[in-house]
Structure 1
């Protein structure tokens, strides 16, 4: 496992040393341009980007009529990336009015929102969070008809997934939880029953929870969460209130900027073998009924990156105390004034102007441009995993069908990592047993231990019980 902390200097070089290491660099943003490009071509290549860079609002407004606001320049930055990093507040609002994408990442892997948090202008962060939520809803609605159609084409079924959480850290695996998720599918409806309510690095919450997706209901009513112990339900909101967005902005501005993903670029599969002299391919009977071929998964990397240049020493101390409080069952970090109103984070002072011209920016070699905003305080870590996967041709569900189901339930907790992994190119068959990393120190082993097509699933399973009471704050993260 590798880890490093880097503070980017004004000129773009790095100054950080770890024990046993020399000076390290990010490699992606050196100060000096490595090669020159034809200046006429560079100036004409991205006119909208240039107008944003030079804060020419009239030109931005004119160019948005015929140029794509989602276009990336040679460094992978969209016009909105540049507007945020350079503090062009009016350009940000103009681009958002033309639906410039918020979620997109540049070539260095950072989203517009990440750069906005780093810069620290609260109104800009608020606008981006609101726009991000809106764009996410719109994208889901575009996919929704195809998803509902795909679910209707699958025969109704019942399925069980067993999750076993493990860790490479000594003794940690002994205290990690396990869970059996029960999934019911009827028409365009899906129900997921689980006992693992929430799970993060070293914290989890047990309970008896059901997620119900009704594909034929209006979007604002399609997703409901039941707490079967307290007998309450919460409808997953289609739109957030102003206070909820303000709360999220406070959280973003006071915590680390995090980016974690499973990298499958170099992933490969090799048949697992047994025997010392006479080697033969290994097979396994999974769940006592699915004859499977075992594969070793090579090149699976969990990459985690953390930035905290926007945080003060006081923030870091508070976050450390908060983490310790959570592990002991403490409460949240929200503070209130004398009138009971929440105390909001203020905008940071703008970073110093780097005095970088558009010509200098486009003349840099790809991804080697100087920092445009606040100097980075950056830590990255990666862990290589060599996992196993059992593929069976006998499982009655196809991978494509599984992806359609996961499209509905993947936003819940740990399912998103499973969907991302299954989306990669797998060997022939169905992955009846998978081992994947979900956190830097934790892996999950998922076993499809039961499956049967059924046409007798009660319709009432996909409706909230009449005696349940609505509690809109039971699951504050939804």
Structure 2
């Protein structure tokens, strides 16, 4: 690697240039007074570049100084995605650990405000109906529906559901309760009950070393996926009714809430997939490996009973791209710095409706506080992401949102009561339940 000193005065991305030329000593000194979160014209942070160029010392130095891991470049890729492509196991493992640490730190910072916000809301009971649909013939017939019952008392929330989780056209039915006790320490605040099996699992605050290494194996064996709801061109317009005399459409949702109906256009679900790090042999083997790991089974064991871990890939050839060529390229169109991409993308436009009511007793901000607590359920995280957008006036009592490229959900707030008599026992694990830390492996 070159040890040429990067020139802070001549360029507005000094950390990036130091990484590019591999000047670790200069990078270390510049980190004291430069913004480690800065993105260059391609949306890359210094950490992105360090990973794509295989500058391992720079990667570790940047992580030690708190470089953000959950950040995307103009193409929508995070440092972790680039690390999986490059294929160095130690780097991937370091990023997974740092990503989890940063997520915990962010939640710890927000936690006091979240608990205060919950405590300010009067205690209530709410019902939320989920109906899942697909444009794919016959799929809608097998998709689930669910009525979630949500109880809120003080800084505690309980959610009862029959739908455990919903990902990749797979779902699990059951009789599940999710309990958040805001007054408890972070490691004890979130609990999931399986009311049929009479077991409970605490949603763990930190993973074990084995769990992190299992996750690294899964990442190294899987397609690199990026999916997001793009709302750049989203428009809300009043839905119309009537053939001759057109008027704004209104509806009384759940027989309770008079609502204005809006049509949503410009909502796009973008899905991208990369697999340049996978061989043909990988693609054949990986389905079985991933299924085994996601069910909590360790794959192959060596003679000492330890799992055999996936080895680092041979690094890609040096790109030969210099800093000037990189930084002078049009935004997002720089030459490849790592492996040549094996890439597929798709996007689907969604046209949906939303019913906004001034009569619902909860505010959108209050709803976001409640949904943040329930975020381990992925379909609730999608709802939170949608409600966080700039919506028309009122409260969204009925919404259509995309959950997967082929699946949408219609969510209806069909019941809401402020209640003063919610029993504290609802937020306590029953004495006859036993702990099963592996009941819900994805939580």
Provide TM-score, normalisation by structure 2. 0.95
Please tell me whether residue 219 in structure 1 is matched to residue 186 in structure 2. Answer: yes
Give the superposition deviation at 1:195: 0.5
Query: Which of 333, 343, 349 matches 2:314?
Result: 349
Contact kept in structure 1, 2:295 and 2:441, CA below 8 Å: no
| Contact preservation (8 Å) 1:296, 1:387 | yes
- Asked if residue 262 in structure 1 is aligned to residue 268 in structure 2, the reply is no
Equivalent residue number for residue 3 of structure 2: none
1:289 is aligned to 2:256: yes
Partner SS state of residue 399, structure 2: strand
1:337, distance to aligned residue in structure 2 (A): 3.1
**Is the 8 Å Cα contact of residues 16 and 45 (structure 2) preserved in structure 1?**
yes
Q: Is the 8 A contact 1:259 1:306 kept in 2?
A: yes
Partner in structure 2 of residue 249 of structure 1: 216
In the other structure, the counterpart of 1:124 is 91
Q: Secondary structure at the match of 1:62?
A: helix
The corresponding residue for 1:388 is: 353
Counterparts of residues 111-150 of structure 1 (less than 5 Å): 111-150=78-117
1:212, distance to aligned residue in structure 2 (A): 0.8
Q: Are positions 1:188 and 2:158 aligned together?
A: no
Alpha-carbon distance, 1:42 to partner = 8.9
Q: Deviations over 1:175-222 (max 9, x none)?
A: 101011111101111111111112223221101111111111111111
Aligned to 2:400: 435
Range moving further from structure 2, 96-105 or 67-76: 67-76
How far apart, in 1, do the equivalents of 2:386 and 2:39 lie? 27
Deviations 1:67-92 (CA, angstroms, capped at 9, x unpaired): 12111112111111110000001111
Describe the superposition over 1:97-120 as per-residue Cα deviations: whole angstroms up to 9, x where unpaired: 111111111122110100000000
- Residue 471 of structure 1: aligned partner: 436
Select which of 418, 424, 431 maps to 2:389: 424
Partners of 2:26 and 2:179 lie apart in 1 by 49
Deviation at 1:160, TM superposition (A): 0.5
Q: Does 1:410 align with 2:350?
A: no
* Residue 331 to residue 216, structure 1, CA distance change in 2 (3 Å): closer
Residue pair 2:236, 2:265 contacting (<8 A) in 1 also: yes
Match of 1:19 in 2: none
Task: Return the match for 2:53 from 67, 73, 86.
Answer: 86
Gaps of 5+ in 2: 1-5
Deviation for aligned residue 1:256: 0.8
1:229 aligned to 196, 217, 220, which one? 196
Counterpart mapping for 1:29-108 below 5 A: 43-108=10-75
Measured against aligned partners, the alpha-carbon deviations of 1:335-358 in whole angstroms (never above 9, x if no partner) come to: 333443212100000001111111
Instruction: Find the counterpart in structure 1 of residue 423 from structure 2.
Output: 458
Contact 1:193-1:209 within 8 A present in 2 as well: yes
The TM-score normalised by the length of structure 1 is: 0.88
CA contact (8 A) 1:261 1:303 kept: yes
**Map of 2:143 onto structure 1:** 176
- After superposition, give the CA deviation of every residue in 1:359-418 in whole Å (9 maximum; x if it has no partner): 111111211111111111111111001001111111111111111111111231211111
Change beyond 3 A, Cα 1:137–1:315: same
Q: Which residue of 1 aligns with 2:412?
A: 447
2:267 to 283, 296, 300: 300
Q: 1:309 aligns with which of 258, 264, 276?
A: 276
Work out the CA distance in 2 between the residues paired with 1:98 and 1:151.
34
The answer to whether the 8 Å contact 1:221/1:235 transfers is yes
- CA RMSD in angstroms comes to 1.9
Once the two structures are superposed, residues 309-328 of structure 1 have per-residue CA deviations (whole angstroms, 9 ceiling, x without a partner) of: 111111211245679x89xx
1 or 2 for the larger relative contact order (CA 8 Å, sep ≥6)? 1
Which SS does the other structure have where 1:45 is aligned? coil
Shift of 1:237: 1.3
Q: Specify which of 334, 351, 368 is matched with residue 369 of structure 1.
A: 334
Q: Distance in 2 between matches of 1:463 and 1:125?
A: 39
CA distance in 1, matches of 2:169, 2:392: 33
Q: Distance in 2 between matches of 1:279 and 1:52?
A: 61
How many residues end up aligned between the 2 structures?
Answer: 437
Whole-angstrom CA distance in 1 between matches of 2:339 and 2:148: 44
